[in-house]
């Protein structure tokens, strides 16, 4: 029986791969945009093959939203909904035949990556004189990262994944466990970390750290703002985002077993990676006037534009899957969430939960309609029908037609990096720094000062951070390295002029330190439910926190206490289902 699950996916993927063609902005007349001596000018498979991978990403981009938020704290079926979505909502155990629950599309991404890597390796071996090693290495590195993203997403949703590196050119015997390995989430995380750091034979031991610019390769003569290729650079998951998230998962697994010392290097690596990525952008003076990569006073008036802009919002985007309706590149977000014809309005936010989470002082300290921008983006009302407004706000002129289902989907964004940083700092015990990032923002007083009140500078010209703030630069603050910063850091909550969420800082014993970590993790979770509502990001975070505080298993009450209230009178009935089925129960038919 071990062929059953993969046989279906492989057979479908073989057909798709044989028919793969790029359209719209994935089409390129290579003779027009590339110099004659460039390899790609005569062998377009090198880049069209990679763009075939991107089309697979487009196809799966919105899937995690339907799979996790329907089972999470936010979404519920409408009267128009489908049995498959209702089954997910109700945590039904048997999801056989449920197209929403099937992992097939994620495995198709993996298959496309494996096929591309094999073809790249074969060409490099056969025609080395035509290979630009730097470019080939980078393309392999990008492909590796897409594969890691697919596997991490599978593990977060299903709790397991079948790992394989073989290119799929024929149906294969899957009884060879050396080539096809069923891994639990911990094993997937370990494999992904090693794969990103070191690569393997399938990538010629190229790791996942190399970057590559499609714009500079394919369209260097066109101004960046006018080039269609700049969008391609958004679409590959970044090394630091993937590795930071993996480190949080690895740290949670170790910490959950009581191995705090083992977890610490992973949290430290997460913090280092995110700080390096943020500092690189924050330290550019020209970025300071419009809040790039920082939660600042710039954010509230532009928050809805993060999603409704015609392209990913430049100050917020790290990585996004992009669609274009005019080129037949669409997702199904409006189809599911919009009540306007011809959309189907299959899912909606639970109004009571939105109002309780966003609009009460107990759950969102300092809330008022004049300062909190996020609730209006999550909950809209059109003709008495509540809908998820994140992807189509009322009055939008950017997607004038209700059928224009091409809103971009963020795989990583700036606020998410700040949440990663807070989670890592908190579990390193760096509570003051975590609180600053989380609540009110960094200040010049978080850096050492001389007797005359001036900021003490390191040899690199930046202010010397106080203990616990290592890795930060004063360019986050109003006193930047170049002078006064226009938009200084205000914190995840502070940028919306909200009150601080309680955050534990003081402790006197090791037990007290760990109690602080848990209390603060719960605060981070509750804030994430506001920031990432309807993005497919909250439920995996709930599971990660449950793992960290589960004493070797999962403290599933962390999940159920935040999800079960959505079910109203059925909350008590749903609580045990949630606690036993937080991973989507999909039978891989491996036995």
pLDDT tens digits along 20-58: 433 333 332 323 222 223 333 345 677 778 888 999 999
Is the distance from CB of 567 to CB of 350 less than 8 angstroms? no
Q: Which pLDDT tens digit goes with each residue over 430-471?
A: 999 999 999 999 999 999 999 999 999 999 999 999 999 999
Tell me the C-alpha distance between 156 and 570, whole Å. 26
Residue the block writes with tokens 């294969």: 172
Q: Which pLDDT tens digit goes with each residue over 125-134?
A: 888 888 888 9
- 230-262 in b/e form (b: 16+ CB < 10 A) is bbbbbbbbbbbbbbbbbbbbbbbbbbbeeebee
- 213-228 in b/e form (b: 16+ CB < 10 A) is ebbebbbeeeeeeebb
Instruction: Note the pTM of the prediction, 2 decimals.
Output: 0.93
Tell me the backbone φ, ψ of residue 471, rounded to 5 degrees. 100, -20
Is the distance from CB of 266 to CB of 248 less than 8 angstroms? yes
Q: Which pLDDT belongs to residue 15?
A: 45
Q: Which pLDDT belongs to residue 150?
A: 99
Which of residues 257 and 590 earns the better pLDDT score?
257
Q: Which residues contact 288 (CB under 8 A, 6 or more apart)?
A: 282, 475, 480, 485, 486, 487
Across residues 187-201, what is the average pLDDT? 97
Looking at every residue in the chain, the average pLDDT score rounds to: 89
Q: Is the pLDDT of residue 8 over 90?
A: no
CA angle 260, 262, 267 (to 5 degrees): 80
Q: Which pLDDT belongs to residue 38?
A: 37
Tell me the backbone φ, ψ of residue 437, rounded to 5 degrees. -65, -35
Q: Is the pLDDT of residue 239 over 90?
A: yes
Q: Which pLDDT belongs to residue 397?
A: 66
Confidence band for 174, pLDDT divided at 50, 70 and 90: low
Kindly state the tokens that stand for 493: 């909550």
Q: Which residues pair with 349 in a beta bridge?
A: 75
Q: Which pLDDT belongs to residue 308?
A: 86
Q: Which pLDDT belongs to residue 177?
A: 67
Kindly state the tokens that stand for 88: 């997910």
Least confident of 117-131, 152-166, 402-416, 500-514: 117-131
Fill in the DSSP letter of residue 465. B
Across residues 307-320, what is the average pLDDT? 92
Tell me the C-alpha distance between 533 and 550, whole Å. 24
Range among 113-122, 306-315, 317-326, 416-425 with highest mean pLDDT value: 416-425
Measure Cα distances from 83 to 68, 105, 344, 355 in Å: 16, 20, 14, 27
Across residues 66-90, what is the average pLDDT? 98
Q: Which pLDDT belongs to residue 2?
A: 45
* Length of the chain as a residue count: 591
Kindly state the tokens that stand for 233: 């650079």
Q: Is the pLDDT of residue 573 over 70?
A: yes
Q: Is the pLDDT of residue 367 over 50?
A: yes
Q: Is the pLDDT of residue 363 over 90?
A: yes
Q: Which pLDDT belongs to residue 216?
A: 84
Fill in the DSSP letter of residue 68. I
Tell me the C-alpha distance between 26 and 11, whole Å. 25
Q: Is the pLDDT of residue 5 over 80?
A: no
Tell me the C-alpha distance between 401 and 168, whole Å. 40
Q: Is the pLDDT of residue 539 over 70?
A: yes
Q: Which pLDDT belongs to residue 403?
A: 87
Q: pLDDT above 90 covers what percent of the chain?
A: 73
Helix axes of 510-531 and 351-358: crossing angle, nearest 10 degrees: 130
């Amino acid at each position: 029986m071990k062929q059953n699950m993969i046989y279906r996916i492989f057979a479908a993927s073989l057909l798709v791969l044989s028919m793969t063609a790029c359209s719209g902005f994935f089409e390129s007349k290579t003779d027009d945009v590339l110099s004659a001596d460039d390899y790609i000018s005569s062998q377009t498979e090198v880049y069209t093959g990679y763009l075939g991978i991107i089309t697979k990403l487009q196809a799966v981009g919105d899937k995690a939203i339907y799979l996790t938020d329907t089972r999470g704290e936010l979404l519920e079926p409408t009267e128009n909904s489908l049995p498959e979505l209702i089954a997910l909502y109700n945590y039904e155990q048997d999801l056989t035949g449920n197209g929403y629950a099937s992992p097939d599309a994620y495995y198709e991404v993996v298959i496309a990556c494996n096929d591309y890597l094999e073809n790249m390796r074969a060409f490099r071996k056969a025609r080395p004189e035509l290979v630009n090693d730097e470019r080939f290495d980078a393309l392999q590195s990008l492909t590796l990262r897409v594969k890691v993203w697919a596997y991490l997403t599978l593990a977060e949703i299903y709790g397991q994944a079948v790992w394989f590196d073989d290119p799929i050119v024929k149906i294969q015997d899957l009884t060879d466990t050396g080539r096809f390995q069923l891994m639990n989430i911990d094993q997937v995380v370990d494999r992904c970390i090693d794969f990103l750091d070191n690569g393997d034979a399938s990538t010629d031991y190229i790791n996942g750290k190399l970057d590559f610019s499609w714009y500079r390769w394919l369209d260097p003569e066109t101004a960046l703002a006018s080039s269609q290729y700049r969008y391609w650079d958004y679409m590959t998951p970044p090394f630091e985002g993937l590795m930071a998230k993996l480190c949080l998962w690895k740290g949670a697994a170790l910490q959950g077993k009581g191995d705090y010392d083992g977890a610490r290097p992973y949290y430290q690596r997460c913090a280092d990676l995110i700080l390096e990525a943020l500092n690189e952008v924050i330290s550019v003076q020209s970025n300071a006037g419009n809040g790039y990569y920082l939660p600042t006073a710039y954010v509230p008036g532009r928050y809805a534009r993060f999603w409704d802009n015609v392209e990913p919002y430049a100050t917020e985007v790290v990585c996004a899957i992009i669609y274009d309706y005019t080129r037949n590149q669409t997702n199904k977000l409006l189809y599911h969430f919009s009540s306007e014809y011809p959309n189907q309005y299959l899912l909606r936010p639970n109004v009571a939960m939105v109002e309780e989470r966003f609009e009460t002082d107990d759950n969102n300290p300092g809330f008022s309609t004049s300062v909190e921008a996020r609730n209006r983006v999550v909950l809209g009302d059109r003709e008495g029908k509540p809908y998820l407004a994140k992807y189509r706000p009322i009055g939008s002129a950017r997607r004038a037609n209700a059928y224009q289902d091409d809103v971009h989907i963020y795989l990583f964004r700036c606020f998410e990096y700040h949440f990663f940083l807070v989670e890592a700092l908190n579990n390193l015990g760096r509570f003051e720094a975590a609180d600053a990032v989380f609540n009110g923002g960094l200040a010049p007083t978080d850096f050492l000062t001389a007797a005359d009140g001036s900021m003490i500078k390191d040899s690199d010209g930046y202010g010397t951070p106080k203990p616990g703030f290592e890795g930060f630069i004063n360019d986050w603050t109003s006193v930047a390295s170049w002078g006064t910063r226009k938009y200084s850091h205000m914190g995840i909550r502070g940028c919306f002029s909200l009150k601080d969420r309680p955050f534990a800082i003081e402790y006197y014993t090791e037990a007290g330190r760990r109690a602080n970590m848990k209390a603060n993790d719960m605060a981070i979770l509750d804030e994430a439910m506001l920031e990432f509502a309807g993005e497919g990001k909250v439920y995996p975070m709930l599971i990660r926190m449950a793992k960290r505080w589960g004493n070797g298993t999962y403290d599933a009450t962390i999940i159920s206490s935040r999800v079960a209230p959505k079910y109203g009178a059925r909350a008590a009935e749903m609580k045990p289902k949630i606690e036993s089925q937080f991973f989507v129960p999909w039978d891989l038919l491996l036995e």
